[in-house]
Chains A and B, each alone.
Chain A
């Protein structure tokens, strides 16, 4: 795909949502209030696993100010098994499956009264054996989360908590290992990490006596919320209007629901609007973190650096309900390499922990951490340059990937070459420092999308789309609309429609929005352009086919060329009332061919030998964006992913006691990196256009969290002269290793 030239794409205009956010005008999930609104609180299980023998809500209901109390008994069964699990995650039925699992909820005239009412609810539990570790949960005889959900074709060597199995690869790994000069085989563990979005889950539900409802919530996908909640509440989707608030971070963690059915059920019961806002303790205990993992990696390499065979066995822990995610890790593990012999296996396992949900490139960071750690060890053992070695084995166009398909145009080699040529790579290292390298990969995808574009009579454009803006999509969509229409960016305003105002859109995930909504926007613009050319043709009294669109204006073409001066979008729009009525373009579709994305990261770390504390001294991330629509947002996505990956590598972890209770449900004890902890993250954008998008766009939101775990670990390994095989590498662990 040849590189195109653009007038607007690639520039860095001021963020359209910036003023509202910095002035406090933007309304987030908890900011919405309506007259007569009630406040709800949720009672949560203190046990990791317990039968709910009885719940007595009488005293709570009698408390002045309490308007409704609900338990799992208020929710009728739903047919769809996946929705049933979602519902039972929002409100336990029969058993509490993890510390923090909701067992009852109260709506009252104030949050304080609701809190007092919670203390009056009497729950009798019968505690049951629990398990929170993935390897323990897989063992036959482990405490069972659910009966009858064991993955098909799994044998007696694993417990019924093992809900899925996958295997990918090609070639003959044993033959490949036989050709290796050096084989390294290691086992790794990573902790569950939370997305750490600053805004807790929050919603406001209003379910009227007429059966119609409104729901305002912080979500990555309000159509998903509508469909799931409508099913749970047994109402028609059209009768529930869901509006996505501004969102204070999601990173995958808001691609499901946790509190919305609770608010809706309380509202239905009380006959009043009900607001639910999680506190941070609840976010940690009862929303969805990512998976923890236990992994075995084996890689063989020749002395010249060529990988001869690679094998991975991944065991992921995903909490209290069936799920399937390890396949994404299994497919990502060796994606950066051109391998003749490769095999990856994965198992998804349930435990007594909150149900996992996506976190940026779900499943990939931990698998790539383990693989890139072993590649690094091989490079150091064989005294090979880590970037040269990766280049020698790098996946490129036409290579059969480790998960099956052959790659189309990809930018891994370009990222590796840019990293090798960057001054960071050759900069001298100080004492107690190490330099880590890692590749990373993510798939990206397209999916369903709806866009509606109105051409206003003053020559401006209103565009409505159905994906919550979690990373700057209103800017990038406006820019693509302006580019396609040939008008100044300032004339386009993009807003996010509620579920009653525009057709369905998939959730904002999979790094899909700039890609998929972008394609829909270009198609909607083209539809509007066709109509505007038609109007101009009528005015000029020439054939429609004899009109073309150039630089934001219709102009006669062919044998009519030059007969009339160009007619701008604004001029055509101004007379639209007389030429056939309003002009608009819309597009509904499900674009595919999203194009995968690669990144390469370099990091310098300094380890304090007295405390075990690791400081990030320098970080440079190279990533193929296809075409960076708004480079500042792309850099922001890269920097954000890097920071989250650093946190995962160094500090973040769900810590469970032997009682199965979460020990650190707060930011004091669950340490995420903040700006003052880190140097500026240098983001280097590589542009290898995606042939599947008219402007060459690839998703950029997820790849950046994949390499940091291994990059930091490889840096620490060099700094302290030994490798740790478990994340996070918190100071006590490093101190123990070096002392």
Chain B
């Protein structure tokens, strides 16, 4: 199962939980499961998040594969200038 790291301020929506394990083969499945477990996160996820999978940052890419032992870090949606 992938280890999902939730950044500090989002833990307000996860009862303080900073890491969870989720069985998901894609980022979309992972985000759906995250929103199911923590409904407070749904609004944030729907507004858009970036995910770092084993150190590589992905911006709203639903079908990016996630490995069995991947570390996935939920991050704010990237913006730039």
Contact = CB atoms under 8 A, between A and B. Distances in A.
B12 interface: yes
B34 to A, nearest CB: 15
A511 B7 contact: no
A44 interface: no
Interface string B1-26: 00001011100100000000000000
Contacts of A486: none
Contacts of A692: 56
Nearest to A328: B79
B67 interface: no
B12 A404 contact: no
Given A166-B7, A590-B61, A593-B56, A404 B79 contact: no
A359 B71 CA distance: 31
Contacts of A596: 57
Interface in A215-274: 251-253, 255
Contact of B64 (A165, A166, A408, A592): A592
Interface residues of B, number: 24
Contacts of B54: 406
Contacts of A407: 55
Given A404-B75, A445-B80, A592 B58 contact: yes
B13 to A, nearest CB: 8
Nearest to A82: B47
Nearest to A512: B80
A445 B7 contact: no
Interface in A575-624: 590, 592-594, 596
B12 A405 contact: no
B7 A509 contact: no
Interface in B39-81: 50, 52, 54-61, 64, 71, 73, 75-76, 78-81
Contacts of A255: 81
Interface in A157-180: 165-169
A511 to B, nearest CB: 6
A327 B50 CA distance: 12
B79 to A, nearest CB: 6
B80 A702 contact: yes
B57 A593 contact: yes
Contacts of B81: 195, 251-253, 255, 358-362, 509-510, 702
A273 B78 CA distance: 37
B79 A166 contact: no
B6 to A, nearest CB: 9
Interface in A311-353: 324-325, 327-328, 331, 343, 345
A693 to B, nearest CB: 12
B80 A361 contact: yes
Given A358-B80, A362-B80, A405-B52, A446 B59 contact: yes
B7 A592 contact: no
B76 A327 contact: yes
Contacts of B7: 166-168, 403-404
Contact of B71 (A403, A406, A592): A406
B55 to A, nearest CB: 5
A404 B78 CA distance: 14
Interface in A697-715: 702
A443 interface: yes
A153 B12 contact: yes
Contacts of A405: 52, 55-57, 71, 73, 75
A556 B9 CA distance: 59
A266 to B, nearest CB: 29
A559 interface: no
A167 B8 contact: yes
A447 interface: yes
B42 to A, nearest CB: 12
A510 B8 CA distance: 24
A688 to B, nearest CB: 15
Interface string A352-369: 000000111110000000
A152 interface: yes
Contact of A510 (B61, B76, B78): B78
A511 B80 contact: yes
A521 interface: no
A510 B79 contact: yes
A446 B71 CA distance: 21
A445 B78 contact: yes
Interface in A402-451: 403-408, 442-447
Contact of B73 (A166, A195, A404): A404
Nearest to B53: A405
Interface string A508-522: 011110000000000
A596 B52 CA distance: 12
Nearest to B7: A168
Interface string A498-528: 0000000000011110000000000000000
Nearest to A399: B55
A251 B80 CA distance: 9
Given A408-B56, A590-B61, A166 B9 contact: yes
Contacts of A152: 12
Contacts of A590: 59-61
A511 B5 CA distance: 26
Given A404-B73, A444-B80, A509-B79, A166 B56 contact: no
B12 A324 contact: no
A592 B73 CA distance: 15
8 contacts: A168-B7, A168-B9, A345-B8, A405-B71, A445-B57, A447-B59, A592-B58, A592-B59
Given A509-B80, A593-B58, 14 more contacts: A153-B9, A166-B8, A166-B9, A166-B76, A168-B7, A361-B80, A361-B81, A405-B75, A406-B54, A444-B80, A445-B57, A445-B80, A510-B78, A510-B80
Interface of A: 152-153, 165-169, 195, 251-253, 255, 324-325, 327-328, 331, 343, 345, 358-362, 403-408, 442-447, 509-512, 590, 592-594, 596, 692, 702
Interface of B: 5, 7-9, 12, 50, 52, 54-61, 64, 71, 73, 75-76, 78-81
Shortest 9 CB-CB distances between A and B: which pairs? A252-B81, A510-B80, A167-B8, A405-B52, A358-B81, A404-B73, A167-B9, A327-B76, A592-B58
